[in-house]
Each structure stands twice: as structure tokens, then as C-alpha cells.
Structure 1
Amino acid sequence: MRKRNKTKDKSGDTIFPLNIDELEKVISSKFENNPDIKFSTYEQQGRKVAIFFIDYQVDVQKLQESLLGPLLNMEKEWSNDSIVNEIPLNSATKISSLDEILKRLVIGEVIIYVEGENESLTYLLLHKESRSLEKAETESLVLGPKISFTESLATNLNIVRWRIKSTDLVLEEVKIGKTMPHDVRIVYMKSIANEEDVNTLRQRLKELDVDEIEDSVVLKQYLEDSQYNLFPQFDHTELPDRFTYSIKKGKVGILVENSPSGFLTPSTLFSFLESTEDLYMRWQAGTFLRLLRFFAMAFSIIVTPMYVAAVSFQYTIIPTEILITIGQSRAAVPFPPLIEALILEFLLELLREAGARLPTKVGQTMGIVGGIVIGQAAVEAGLTSNILIIVVAMSALSSFTVPSYLLGTTIRLIRFPLILLAGFLGFLGIMFGLSLLIIHLLRLKSLGRPYLVPLYPLRLEDFNKVFYRTPFNFTNKRAKAYKPKDLIRFNKKDATKKRDIDE
């Protein structure tokens, strides 16, 4: 009996040449006889060919018209070379490894094997399900584009290309994941983005050794400079206009297959308080809204701890009229201010989380009605005071002004240790907690860049790009914080030159 010559892959698996029946048994055993594996055999001039694929992952119409039709109508004898030459598809790949065949099957490729050949052919005829472009949910805007990214990487790349019509735009491809690889794209402007930032991000991606990544939010956590802090270090967004606007400033973006959002780096604490909506307003209104967000963030962090500290220890700083009102509202409350504040903050977080998990209409109704009913019942039952309900409500309202959901969550978490420090040490505890927080922020980095720039290190020339807005004629330079290659956006002298209508 003649011994067959077998092709071995790197792992030692022998797979080709095989007859068609043996190949079908091997594939069926690997997929536990899964009925979704379609295995078809055709014969021509005494030669057999097997075609197999996963049913719901392949574009059946394209399979029939572009592959099966030309294959069955071929006049030449079937072979790998003749099939590649006769079938007008550009995605043909020759493989002989069983592991490679299985990997390509699960990502939607069609495998063709001509009996007796030492290699099989694969064609990518993937059928992707994707939702249409919809309005952004977590980052709502009054002015500006409303569409958001989708789970389709091709759609997201199309949107980015549509918004940045330039040959300078780079969409670098990287594969992440050993067992279930995902397509990841590094997005940046070649003539603007800092080369060191691009290389650092590329290195971190290539050195990442994981089986799979579920979403861009998960990938972001793998790539961050420090995974042991509360503050997000990469800016996360589902808005294409915010994504492309940051790319044009010199940042580097990441888009991931099956993820409806992208992230940007390097980022600063103040990046999470910016909104592209500021650009669509007059510069005076944009400045007011930015300053309002900064104030609201600080107010949300310290107002409840200050109430606890003042009522528990430093009540002498409270004006007499207000102190009498607070004393009357707390007369029937059996708990100290610390416990009272923690109970109310905990109830607020329960309402917020429940409202986010319920269907939209039910969640909104439950949040409003639940807050009113529970708050009123708590006051009447003597569990809390009216004054503290107002303080906690103002704190929650202030946290909602932060455009970034991730930073808003961080602010909510910071409040609890500050309340505890205020309850035990008063204003001294608050100052101690804020000092630790500032020290932590000073040490924090995003892709190796300082997290508090332009405050630290101090860059006064970047203040008009962070804390306030100026007329567009005066924004001729990009922020130095990201160290872009090209610092100049346009010629300021030409932009401010007055022209007659007939020029």
C-alpha cells in the first residue's frame, strides 16, 4: 500500500493530502458535529472538491454567484492554481494547517479543498449583521452631529474617512487576541500626531498577550499607564465628531471591531470636561459652559463632605439663621450627620443605578417618582433632614454636568471617602483627603504625559484651549500639551485680515 505524503503544520498536525470523506470526519469532530457546518462535495472529470463553511456567517448569495457558479462551470481540470486563476475573487489564500483552517472558518471564510492537493483555498465571503447609524445615547448633544459609532468596524472607519478627507490620515491595523483575534485600528494624522505617542501605543498593543478583548473599554484598561487608580486615563467616546476633532488636534485614536465606541490618548483630566458642543456655540457661551463644568465637578465632590464637617464639628462657621433651620430639621433625626449623609448618598446611587438598568421610559419615571416619594417619606419618618436632601440633590445634579460618564462615576466614588474623613476629622479630614487626591493626580500620567497639563507643568499658552474659549481667529495653534509635529493650524495674519465683499 502506497504511503501518502503528508503536509505538517508548525504544531505537528498532519492534514493534507486527504480524501474528502476523511476531511469531513476531521472537520465534523472538531466542531462536535455542529449542524451549522455546511460540507458539500462536487465531482468533475473524476476529481472531487469539498466546500465547507459556517452557514450563518457567509454571504450565501455571493457564495452562489461569485464562487460556486464559476467553479462548477470551469472547463479546466480542478486544481488550486486553476481555481485561483478562473474565479474572479481577490481574497484567495492557500493554507495547509488544520488550526489555520479552523480559525478561518469561525471568522466567516469559505474553505475549498481539491482532493489530492497539499493545500486548501480560503475565500472571505463574510456576512455581517450591523445596525444602522443611530443617535448617541450616553453623550447627548443639543448642537452638532448626533450620530454615534456602531459595532461595525468598517462603518466606523467609513465615518472617520468621511469626516477627515485627507491622505494624511493613517488607519493602522493590529490584531489583538490569541484564540479570538479582533481587528484594532490605530488612527492618527501622520503630519500632526507625535511620533513617540504613536510608537508607545503601538508597542503596548503588540505586547498585549490576551485570549480576546470584549470591547474598546476593556482594551483601554489593558493599555493604561496605571490600573490601580479611579481616574480614566484615556478619553472614551461614541461620537465620531469628537473622535475626529481630537485626532486633528494631534491625539491618537483606537477603534475596535464589534465596539460601538473608540478611545483617544494622551488625555488630561480636563479632556473629560470638554465637549464638542462648545465649538458650535459662540465663544462666550462656550467659555461659560466650560467654567460651569469645572465648578460643578468641584462642587459635587466637596459639598456633602462640607455639610457633614460643618454640622458635626465646625458648626460655628454656619450663620445663626441657617444653623437654627438646620437644628430644627435635624431635631427628630436619630442618626449623626455622617450616617445620615451615607444613607442618603447610598439611596441616591441605588436610584441612579436602577434607573440606568430599567427600560428608558420606566427608568426615568422610577427615578423621578422614586426620588420624590423616598425623600419625602424619609423626612416624615425622621430618618433624614430637608437640608441634607437639598445638599445631596445639588451634589448629584452637579455630577450630571460632566460630559464623560467614566469621570462622572469617578466623582461619585470619591465622595464617599471624603464624607468619611469629614465625619471623623471635620474640615481637617477634607483637606487631608483633597491633598491626597491632588498628589495622586500630579503623579498620574496618560501615555507618559502629565495628567494635569496645562496646570502641571504650567503652560499658560494652552489655557485658552482648556479652561476658556477664544474667537476662532485666535486659535491658530494646537495645544503644546500633546507635542504635535505641526503646531500651526493656520496663518493668523491671513485669518484676521479684513476683506471687501468683492475680493
Structure 2
Amino acid sequence: MRRRKLDFMDKKPIFPLKIEELKKLLDNKFVNNPDLNFSTHKKNGKDFAIFYIDYQVDVNIMHRDLFEPLLQFGEEVVLSNQSILDTLPLSSGSTSETLDDILNKIIIGEVFIYIENEPAAVSFSLLKKQSRSLEKAETESLVLGPKISFTESLATNMNIIRWRIKSTDLVMEEVKVGKLSPRLVRIVYVKSVANEDDVNTMRQRIEELDVDEIEDSVVLKQYLEDSQTNLFPQFDATELPDRFTYNVTKGKIGVLVENSPTAFLAPSTLFSFLESTEDLYMRWQAGAFLRNLRFIAMIFSIFLTPTYVAAVTYQYAVIPTEMLISIGESRAAVPFPPIFEALLLELLLELLREAGARLPTKVGQTMGIVGGIVIGQAAVDAGLTSNILIIVVAMSALASFTTPSYLFGTTVRLVRFPLIVLAGVFGLLGIVFGLSLLAIHVLRLTSLGRPYLTPLYPLQIKDFNKVFFRTPFSFSSRRAKSYRPKQINRFNLKEAHQKRDIDE
């Protein structure tokens, strides 16, 4: 990360000057840039220039609300910065005195008017906004609940959030990030609920970030995380507005980035990545069952294949006799040790997954299904692997797909590889060693300064019903204490349990 070197003179006032001198300054900055439109005009005895970047500006609005009213000024009107600001039917007018300010504004779609020998140039924001319509979420699918996702338009995303959280307590702070290519960032939180320390920490990290550009919100998330070197994501990323607003009302801090269809939330815990807003839309019994199923599936996905490798390689005694005979018959024609066999199948599965994701949708689905069946059967017939291991690897893959967060699901799959190696070299002892290292690593992690394993560590038993299982809404009167919100109570518990008929 480095700072862009700026000419000191760019930050000093440059006006008043001649129009030719201003054009020369701009030409020096926009070298070989034919998109810079600079035209000179004369009105009421005064020379003035209009300059802007063609493709950044909405030309129709510029001609209608800027050119035409300007050329219709009467002879009695004294052409000046103040008369332009007062007369033109545009509300976004401002003045700039330095070249640096002009450059920063012109590249984000502002049109400048400079009257010769005036102490400043006047500008209006006429940015041509390109945005796609609201569409169904692609990476986070839901059966119940809203299906729309965020778009690349920051204004559209903010509008969706305002539409869902109709409260004056909702705050959307604006910060600019990037020296070479600045982007607008919005810090979103509910001021009556969010912890002030968390808000200040997030604001400070964003404001102190010194980079040339931010490609996407997921990239910004990696810059801001407590540790950039560990495997586990510490901020939760989502493209679903309902998931975003639900977590913001719980006391979390949300961040939106211009030109990014993904938002992220902090602080997050390990268990946040296994939650889905769909749990809220079901009966509490079904929601609790599915949430626990994801916890079990995560453990299953990490340890099933390593356990198979350790048992077949060293610990035969843990396998029932009938199954041991079946495994022996299945592996009779396989010349490779279990560790090589397992790594081969896992890599093959990852190749199929990556190929399916990169190919066009219809072709990718065919590749995933047909490729898995054909290659798996061919591998068994060729004696490269056994039928049982194909079942084990397939079950591990299915279990990893239950994770709502794509980033966390990828982490689960990556953790499996070193455990397979440890299981193949040291057996079950290697799995225990790997699990111990994993536990130590996760215990040391934090998210925005909060423990990553809360409410399990440090222990917050009262938050268990918000993490490990679901209770009826009438019993969920308190927000999670783990996030230390200003208001712990969501509603009055006694009032919620009182049921009144209409005649009462």
C-alpha cells in the first residue's frame, strides 16, 4: 500500500486565470485523452468555458438543464459564479479553487463552467448512472423469504435498506477509499443499537486505509479484517438485503461499496456463517433442525474423509468386521495407499466444481453431473480408487454444500486437505493433532476485536438460543449479548406472552 504522489501545486488555488491557461493545465493532466470535452463560449460580454468527460456525463440532462438555460440569460444578467448557481435548475452546484479538486470531480461525472478571471470554477454533478435491475440472488439461494439481491448501484442498495429499515436511527456514513481511483463506502448501522466501539473501530480502519484502489467490497473486507493471513473469513459477506438488514438490527455494522453487489457485516463469529435468514421464515422447530444440521454437516465434511483414511491405513480395529471385508474387497485392485487415493478424488472433485463454476450455466451443470458420474465410474473400473471412498468423498462434498456462506464453505473444503495428509501419515493421532491446532487457531481469532467463537468462548449461555437453535419469537426478546448492543431488549417479554381477544 502506497500513496500516490501529488504535485503540491495541484492543491493550491489556481484562479483567476485565462481560459487558455486553464485548458493548458487540463491538457497536461489528461494526456492523450480525447474524451475530455473543452469548449469556449461568450455571453453578455464575458468569455466562459465548459469542460467535462464525455462518457461520464448524462448529455441529455446537460443540454436541457445547463446549456439551454445558460444561453437564455438576458442581456441584463451579469454572468458570474453566483448568478449561475442561482439561476440554473440544478441543485448539486459547487465551486472549486484548486486543480486537484477539479480533477477529482471531473472524473466522477461533474460538468464545470469557468468564467474568465473568476476566483473559482462552478461544477454540477451530471453523472450518467448505469445500473442493472433488481434480480434474484445467485450465490445465496432461498426457498422462503425475499429473493432480490444487491446490485452494483450504491444508490439502489441504500434505497433497498431504507425501504426495509424505516427508522431515523438508521445511519449511513460516507467514506471515500482509494487514492488513484476513489470509491464511495457506506458504513451502515442503527445508532440506538450498535456498539459505539465497534462503529468507531470500523470507521477508523476504513479511514486509515491507504491503497490506490478497491476492486470490490470482498477485497475491502480482507483489508479490514483483524488478521489477513489466516484461512477463516472474519467478516460475513452477503448479497441478500434481508440478511444484511436483519444483522444490522441485531447490532452489527454493515458496509456497502460503490459498484459492488456484495455487502459485508462485522463483528461475525464462526457460527454466523452457518446461519440463514430462511431459518426465521420457517416454524421454529424446522429452523432449529436445519441450523443444527448445518453444524453437524460442517463437522462431517471436515472429518469424514480423514477418518476413513486413518482407519483404513492404521486403525483397522475401529471398523466393523463386515464392513472391513467389504472395504478390503473394494480396495483389492487399487495399487495406491488410501492417502493418495483420497487426495486424488478430492482434487478431482475440486476440478469438477471449478470447471462447473467457470463454464456457462447450462454447460456447467452438465459438466458437474455427467463429469462426476463418468469420471468416478471410470476411476473405479481403472483401479485408481474404490467404490467406498467415492461414497465417502461424495458425502463430504454434499455436507460442505449446506453452508450458506460460499467463503466459509471454501474454507471448510481447504481445511480437509491437511487433515487427510495428517491422517495418512499418523492415523487418528494425526487427526487429533490437526484438530488441536485448528482449535488453538480459531480460539485466537477475533472479528472487529470480538472473540471468534463467542458465545461458546467466552461462554454466553443466554445467547445459545440465538446461535445453536431457534426458539419461538415470543421468547426471543433479547439481542445477542455477544455483540454488546446498546439496547439488549427487543421488546417487552411479559407483554408478548399476554394474548388478548378482540372483545377484551
**Same fold by TM-score greater than 0.5:** yes
Task: Tell me which residue corresponds to 1:83.
Answer: 84
Q: Match for 2:357: what amino acid?
A: A
Quick one: distance in 2 between partners of 1:44 and 1:260?
45
Task: Tell me which residue corresponds to 1:56.
Answer: 55
Deviation of the 1:307 alpha carbon: 0.4
SS at structure 1 position matched to 2:232: coil
Task: Tell me which residue corresponds to 1:74.
Answer: 73
Q: Match for 2:40: what amino acid?
A: T
Alignment of 1:99-498 (within 5 A): 99-498=100-499
Q: Match for 1:215: what amino acid?
A: D
Measured at CA, do residues 457 and 12 of structure 1 come closer, stay the same or move farther in structure 2, by a change above 3 Å? closer
Q: Match for 1:386: what amino acid?
A: N
TM-score by length of 1: 0.96
Deviation of the 1:265 alpha carbon: 0.5
Deviation of the 1:20 alpha carbon: 2.6
Quick one: distance in 2 between partners of 1:298 and 1:489?
33
Q: Match for 1:18: what amino acid?
A: L
Quick one: distance in 1 between partners of 2:448 and 2:417?
29
TM-score by length of 2: 0.96
Measured at CA, do residues 306 and 108 of structure 1 come closer, stay the same or move farther in structure 2, by a change above 3 Å? same
Measured at CA, do residues 92 and 12 of structure 1 come closer, stay the same or move farther in structure 2, by a change above 3 Å? closer
CA deviation string 1:224-279 (max 9, x = no partner): 11111110000110000000000110111101111101111110000000000000
Tell me whether 64-73 or 410-419 shows the greater mean CA deviation. 64-73
Quick one: distance in 2 between partners of 1:336 and 1:9?
67
CA deviation string 1:325-365 (max 9, x = no partner): 11111111111000000000000000001111111111000
Quick one: distance in 2 between partners of 1:85 and 1:195?
41
Deviation of the 1:296 alpha carbon: 0.2
Deviation of the 1:12 alpha carbon: 6.7
CA deviation string 1:394-436 (max 9, x = no partner): 0000000000001000001000000000000000000000011
The answer to whether the Cα contact below 8 Å between 1:247 and 1:253 also exists between their aligned partners in 2 is yes
Tell me whether 13-22 or 156-165 shows the greater mean CA deviation. 13-22
Task: Tell me which residue corresponds to 1:5.
Answer: none
The answer to whether the Cα contact below 8 Å between 2:177 and 2:209 also exists between their aligned partners in 1 is yes
The answer to whether the Cα contact below 8 Å between 1:300 and 1:395 also exists between their aligned partners in 2 is yes
Measured at CA, do residues 501 and 42 of structure 1 come closer, stay the same or move farther in structure 2, by a change above 3 Å? same
CA deviation string 1:13-47 (max 9, x = no partner): 77433333333333234222422222222112331
Q: Match for 1:22: what amino acid?
A: E
Tell me whether 465-474 or 43-52 shows the greater mean CA deviation. 43-52
Task: Tell me which residue corresponds to 2:501.
Answer: 500
SS at structure 2 position matched to 1:122: strand
Quick one: distance in 2 between partners of 1:27 and 1:195?
44
Instruction: Flag structure 2 segments of 5+ consecutive residues without an equivalent.
Output: 1-6
Q: Match for 1:497: what amino acid?
A: Q
Q: Match for 1:241: what amino acid?
A: D
Quick one: distance in 2 between partners of 1:85 and 1:485?
45
Tell me whether 461-470 or 88-97 shows the greater mean CA deviation. 88-97
Q: Match for 2:249: what amino acid?
A: K
Quick one: distance in 2 between partners of 1:489 and 1:314?
52
Q: Match for 1:107: what amino acid?
A: I
1:19 aligns with 2:18: yes
Deviation of the 1:90 alpha carbon: 2.5
The answer to whether the Cα contact below 8 Å between 1:9 and 1:97 also exists between their aligned partners in 2 is no
Q: Match for 2:342: what amino acid?
A: A
Quick one: distance in 1 between partners of 2:213 and 2:94?
24
Quick one: distance in 2 between partners of 1:381 and 1:300?
27
Quick one: distance in 2 between partners of 1:455 and 1:403?
21
The answer to whether the Cα contact below 8 Å between 2:297 and 2:402 also exists between their aligned partners in 1 is yes
The answer to whether the Cα contact below 8 Å between 1:215 and 1:256 also exists between their aligned partners in 2 is yes
SS at structure 2 position matched to 1:16: coil
Task: Tell me which residue corresponds to 1:3.
Answer: none
Q: Match for 1:120: what amino acid?
A: A
Quick one: distance in 2 between partners of 1:374 and 1:282?
41
The answer to whether the Cα contact below 8 Å between 2:11 and 2:98 also exists between their aligned partners in 1 is no
Task: Tell me which residue corresponds to 2:4.
Answer: none
Deviation of the 1:116 alpha carbon: 1.8
Quick one: distance in 2 between partners of 1:274 and 1:17?
60
Q: Match for 1:42: what amino acid?
A: H
The answer to whether the Cα contact below 8 Å between 1:136 and 1:147 also exists between their aligned partners in 2 is yes
Deviation of the 1:99 alpha carbon: 2.3
Quick one: distance in 2 between partners of 1:333 and 1:49?
84
SS at structure 1 position matched to 2:79: coil
The answer to whether the Cα contact below 8 Å between 1:9 and 1:96 also exists between their aligned partners in 2 is no
1:30 aligns with 2:29: yes
Deviation of the 1:104 alpha carbon: 1.2
Deviation of the 1:386 alpha carbon: 0.3
Q: Match for 1:163: what amino acid?
A: R
CA deviation string 1:463-491 (max 9, x = no partner): 11001011111001111000111001111
Between the two proteins, the alignment pairs up a number of residues equal to: 496
The answer to whether the Cα contact below 8 Å between 1:53 and 1:108 also exists between their aligned partners in 2 is yes
CA RMSD of the aligned region, Å? 1.4
SS at structure 1 position matched to 2:377: helix
The answer to whether the Cα contact below 8 Å between 2:10 and 2:99 also exists between their aligned partners in 1 is no
SS at structure 1 position matched to 2:378: helix
Quick one: distance in 1 between partners of 2:130 and 2:302?
43
The answer to whether the Cα contact below 8 Å between 1:169 and 1:187 also exists between their aligned partners in 2 is yes
Task: Tell me which residue corresponds to 1:4.
Answer: none
Deviation of the 1:117 alpha carbon: 1.7
The answer to whether the Cα contact below 8 Å between 2:175 and 2:184 also exists between their aligned partners in 1 is yes
Deviation of the 1:53 alpha carbon: 0.8
